Structure 1
Amino acid sequence: MLSTSIADERCGTMHVMPISDEEVERPPRHNERTIEDNVVVNILHYEFRDRVGPPFKCHTLNLWVDGFCGSGDPTRFSLGSLGNSSRQPGVIPVRGQIGKGMQMQHDAGRTTITCLGESPIFVQAPLHAKRLNDDTATVYRLSGVIEGDDVESRTIEIFDETTFEKLLEEARMQGYRHVYALQNLCLCRVSFVKGFGKSYRRTTILDTPCWIEIHFMNYLQRLDEVLSTLHTPAHDVHSFS
């Protein structure tokens, strides 16, 4: 477990106390391939515990999530365009502060998130945490633009293919269940404006007004490929992609 708040010079972010791994939702599982097999990322949007709007499916890891009303760009997920007839009052001011939101970029096997808005964002990236030997439920704070022009303090690496493949090979040697457990590393959660964790009043992301859950469908499919080569334990037939 981490201390309540410690600076992390490795990635220019701030750790907050991790929440329980039990709070991390499992990625959706489907037993059949679909015409959306070339979708590499699937993003779900939530307001507190309520899922709002349809999933945002994208064919690239280079995309934006903002608080605007949309431009028809297939690589831009604009949360401002999502209506909710039962929207809680606490959500409205937070939505108004998302602004330019965040940018996701993929290069040379590394996927990063950069905060572009004036307000901070709070990221839960299990694979990144595991690479740093942190608790996989650790939450990282990325500064908003209004706090300074230092891009490093506004950027975090959320997925590294080299690390993932190494862990996958180790899990493959140990068997089906170990590979299956890696699904938890193939997602990332982001809360806009409001932080969460043991050092916050909001102890879990379910207590935050506006947040997203990112599923890396391409890496979940990679797990499927490896699982298909292994002996399947009884009552454990699943597919992630």
Structure 2
Amino acid sequence: MFRSRRSLSVRQLWKQRCITPSRGQGEGPPPNHEDLHNALRPAVHQLFKKLKDEQLWQLSQAVDSRGRWDCGCVWLPWEVRAGKQVLPPQVLLCRLYRWPDLRTTTEIKSLSHCQNFCRRSGEGTAVCCNPYHLSRLAAPDPTVSLSYKTREAARPVLSKAALAESGSSRYNVRGLHDTTLSRGSIRDGQWCKLAYWENRTRVGRLYPVTEPSVHIFHDLPKASGFCLGFLGSEPRNETVRRTRKKIGQGLVLSRQQGEVWVDNHSEHPIFISSPTLATVSARGQAVLKVLPGYSIKVFDAERAANLLGRSDLGDGPCDPHSVRISFAKGWGARYSRQFITSCPCWLEILLSTPK
């Protein structure tokens, strides 16, 4: 009984292998399918032999749902030997099911709900090899930037009620007035607040974040976090409605040792603007495209502290503790939308500052 069930699971897992994944920024051409089959098959079969029946079914469910259901960690020894070749199991399975051109563990990171997330590199003799507990690191592209006029016009226009709720306005490093919402402080136990916008209108109240990570999504079963699908009941225009449906699994925002990461869990790209993503010599703020399944560090506390005294960030207001993310639609020089306030659905992350 167990043998037949195991054989079925192994055949199903091999059948579900990814052949033509989406290509991401900085990736080379996809490998030939026959080469992928011949190169990985011996190592994969060695790996499957090391998995228990329960682990095989866990892995099968994760692959079948493409990460929509958290099936738990699948633990294996750090190295899997296939003849003379030694492959980390997480790299092997990510190449098989997600990114065929993946080369090393330095190109991927554990997601916040994986037990590997809080473990130090090299700690322990086993590693989680669930390919949907991992995301691929996105390479920043500093060539896209916002000019002063773009950033000035992109600032949200708040109503009197919104300003009253914020309690106070703030000033940027150049002394120009910025009316974006109040962020609070780390002493309050909140490391950030989230504001959801549709074009130039803020929808719903501020969402305070106290946990190390938060899932921001549209509508998912058995999910907890900031559900955008519950916000607002008034009729929306067709573009907003279509874009909201594309949010899907959304993104995961996590904080670890002064760094803030964004993991794109949706099936569409997200677009991010953050002062700490720009290069040192950049004029203005970059707008970066992050593909599905990719992660990027959107905030670095040490770099943000250095930006407070900088005068070469470009003209106009710049808040080193604010991150803006648009779902599915980009803005800036390469897109028809010049300002983030023209994007149908976007998120503002107001990071707390120590007091």
For the criterion TM > 0.5, the same-fold answer is: yes
Equivalent position of 1:60 in the other structure? 211
1:18 aligned partner, one-letter code: L
Shift of 1:43: 0.6
Confirm or deny: 8 A CA contact 2:212 2:256 kept in the other structure.
Answer: no
- Structure 1 stretches lacking a partner, 5+ long: 1-6, 146-153, 175-180, 226-241
Partner AA of 1:82 in structure 2: L
For 1:198-213, list aligned pairs within 5 A: 198-213=333-348
Q: 1:108 deviation in Å? A: 2.5
Cross-structure match for 1:116: 265
Output the CA distance in 1 between the equivalents of 2:258 and 2:267.
28
TM-score, length of structure 1 as denominator length:
0.68
1:81 aligns with 230
Map of 2:287 onto structure 1: 139
Letter in 1 for 2:252: Q
Give how far 1:69 is off.
6.0
In the alignment, structure 1 residue 185 sits paired with structure 2 residue 320: yes
Post-superposition CA distance 1:181-237 (Å, at most 9, x none): 9970111000001111111111111111110111002x2xx3xx4xxxxxxxxxxxx
- Deviation per residue, 1:126-170 (Å, 9 max, x gap): 1221x554344221000124xxxxxxxx221111122223444x5
* SS of residue in 1 equivalent to 2:289: strand
How many Å separate the matches in 2 of 1:92 and 1:102?
A: 18
Quote the residue 1:162 is aligned against. Answer: 302
Partner Cα separation in structure 2 for residue 206 and residue 83 of structure 1: 18
Structure with bigger RCO (C-alpha 8 Å, 6+ apart): 1
Distance 1:92 1:133, change over 3 A: same
Kindly report structure 1 stretches of 4+ aligned residues shifted beyond 4 Å: 7-11, 69-72
Q: Is the CA contact 1:139–1:197 (under 8 Å) kept in the aligned structure 2?
A: yes
**Between 193-202 and 52-61, the greater mean CA deviation after superposition:** 52-61
Deviation at 1:21, TM superposition (A): 2.8
Deviation at 1:61, TM superposition (A): 4.4
Question: How far apart are the structure 1 equivalents of 2:145 and 2:253?
Answer: 24
Q: Secondary structure at the match of 1:87?
A: coil
Deviation at 1:16, TM superposition (A): 3.2
Residues 10-89 of structure 1 correspond to what in structure 2 (within 5 A)?
11-14=138-141, 15-19=143-147, 20-22=150-152, 23-25=154-156, 26=178, 27-29=180-182, 37-68=188-219, 73=224, 76-89=225-238
Gap regions ≥5 residues in structure 2? 1-24, 28-136, 157-177
The worse-fitting range, judged by mean Cα deviation, of 36-45 and 46-55 is 36-45
Change (3 A) 1:11 1:24: farther
- Distance in 2, matches of 1:87 and 1:52, equals 11
SS at match of 2:302: helix
Q: Secondary structure at the match of 1:55?
A: strand
Equivalents in 2 of 1:29, 1:116: separation in Å?
A: 28
Find the aligned partners of 1:53 and 1:72 in 2 and give their Cα distance: 19
Task: Name the aligned partner's letter for residue 157 of structure 1.
Answer: K
CA positional deviation for 1:85: 0.8
User: Normalising to structure 2: TM-score of the pair?
Assistant: 0.48
> For this pair of structures, how many residues does the alignment match?
191
Pairwise CA distance, 1:13: 4.3
- Aligned counterparts of 2:195 and 2:283: Cα–Cα separation in 1: 24
Three-state SS of the structure 2 residue aligned to 1:68 is coil
Distance verdict in 2 for CA 1:59–1:100, change over 3 Å:
same
Give the residue type in structure 2 aligned to 1:165. A
Amino acid at match of 1:47: E
Q: CA RMSD in A?
A: 3.1
